[in-house]
Structure 1
């Protein structure tokens, strides 16, 4: 073999090693989130692929049971945590999360973000939102309940399934929803509702499964839940009961940890998260509303956002200061 050929062969033998080294040199952006976001059917894989296409980096989604669990994990790990971003916190825990002093200011341009309520934060970027609601089968209720009062006046055999507010975001959402509607009279509402509660499950999945299995007439979920059945399953028999009192909003948030060694990359990810490309992924993977107006609008058959007048939200500080008392009153009322 000539010297020239030896040189070429050597170059080709080195090339895979160089390529591997280059791949290993790519920075990793580690994002703690909830399991369903990171799952194969959730938004995570598509968002990962979209961001990696231009960042020259690797995105690593680390799933936990819920975003609160992800936050607790980062707290326990302290400055040694691998997490750069916590994704999936919401407005019900934002004040608590801020009080940990773990989060840096995000400096993200949110001028295109349009929410049904006024929400601003230096530490957290909103990436989707939804409304808590009771979901039912149209075939069971030609005339759906239109208020909490309707629920309290249902037939004796009428049953709903809800979630534990200590371990479930919708469960806590119901507590805050009732408080936003009834204020100081909320404690009187729970004993009236108690006879209709089939069970209080730990999480959303267990509750929704009971509903789908026909064990309950209604389940606490989101106004967008019927969109899944309609778009993914072609089943138009599910609907969300729209209450005249309004509906409590859940805004999901992402925050950058101060301990992150990838601050610039994390800032870029936040900008990508509220871009057209990323936001188009949200509706039919996370089954929530995007936080910007999508070019071409929402997917056909997707739910319509409620008006500002129909949207309820307590401020972060009120929630942080009173959540335990609200939860205690709930359990005392449904005994």
Structure 2
């Protein structure tokens, strides 16, 4: 009897189980070498909750999962879409307005959106090994004029990085894009599902160039003390990617979700962007010395997300038909 009463008293006085915030993100963010673990630890200490990071392949995969699950999704937040997918994601009708007061943001084109909040940004670029390629291309036009150069890139249907290349080509070449894809197809070693596969192949020496980011060399310098990996600086400019997060209307923890979105724009989160995600923070944050060695893309290229939504299917079909010829 006394044991039973003691158990009841223990249950009454024990703290309630902590709440759980579920975030769909991409695998490199949630990986042991990504920013996810440190961010999870810091936020859990502040919210006294459980932060569950569900790792998917890429931003495109996150959107596809959201569409598939609809209102039944277990996610409270999606983190890892980019500026090219804003209108398409909003069309699902599944996302809520963030209602977060923005701090001063360091973004090339500013930020004005009531659903998505940015957490980092970067520029797409072709990376080369200077010990293997002494004369990299200095423009997109030169890349097209040098058929001896081999390359690796990611599928625009499954990868935000690959989609970035598609938008880069559309920005520069418009109606001539099909001819660009046909040109590149002749020396493309592989089009991979995601970034990790293609970058791994590049590091093994399987191609001269790989599609990645202007900030990728900072990783090699900071972590591996290697200087041979460089970004080819294209005179026409580089396409801008802004990575974003948003909360779901169906979130079971809306207050906690907004707390995380606010936290995302704080120094406690942003300090992990440069040396965790190897991208640029969106607020004033001290950067590693390796970032001072990076190229400065000029101009910064981008397309309106609504235009992308309207034409994305056609551009994907054009890419697919061109590379399969």
**CA offsets 1:16-40 (integer angstroms, 9 cap, x no match):** 8678x42x53211111111221112
In structure 2, do the counterparts of structure 1 residues 18 and 50 end up closer, same or farther at CA, with 3 Å as the change threshold?
Answer: farther
- 2: CA distance between counterparts of 1:39 and 1:192? 36
What's the CA shift for 1:246? 0.5
Are positions 1:318 and 2:312 aligned together?
no
Q: Which residue of 2 aligns with 1:331?
A: 320
- 1: CA distance between counterparts of 2:183 and 2:48? 57
Q: Which residue of 2 aligns with 1:84?
A: 76
- 2: CA distance between counterparts of 1:82 and 1:74? 9
Contact 1:167 1:202 in 2 (8 A): yes
Cα RMSD after superposing both structures: 2.3
Q: Which residue of 1 aligns with 2:178?
A: 187
5+ long unaligned stretches in structure 1: 1-5
What's the CA shift for 1:57? 1.4
Q: Which residue of 2 aligns with 1:298?
A: 287
- 2: CA distance between counterparts of 1:15 and 1:117? 58
Higher deviation after alignment, 97-106 or 182-191: 182-191
Contact 1:289 1:305 in 2 (8 A): no
Q: Which structure 1 residue ranges, 4+ long, deviate > 6 Å from structure 2?
A: 13-16
Work out which of the residue numbers 52, 60, 63 in structure 1 matches 2:55: 63
- 2: CA distance between counterparts of 1:191 and 1:305? 28
5+ long unaligned stretches in structure 2: none
Instruction: Give the length in aligned residue pairs.
Output: 321
3-state SS of 1:36 partner: helix
TM-score by length of 2: 0.92
TM-score by length of 1: 0.89
- 1: CA distance between counterparts of 2:186 and 2:64? 35
- 2: CA distance between counterparts of 1:170 and 1:244? 20
Contact 1:161 1:218 in 2 (8 A): yes
Q: Which residue of 2 aligns with 1:221?
A: 212
1:198-237 alignment runs, 5 A limit? 198-237=189-228
Larger Rg: 1
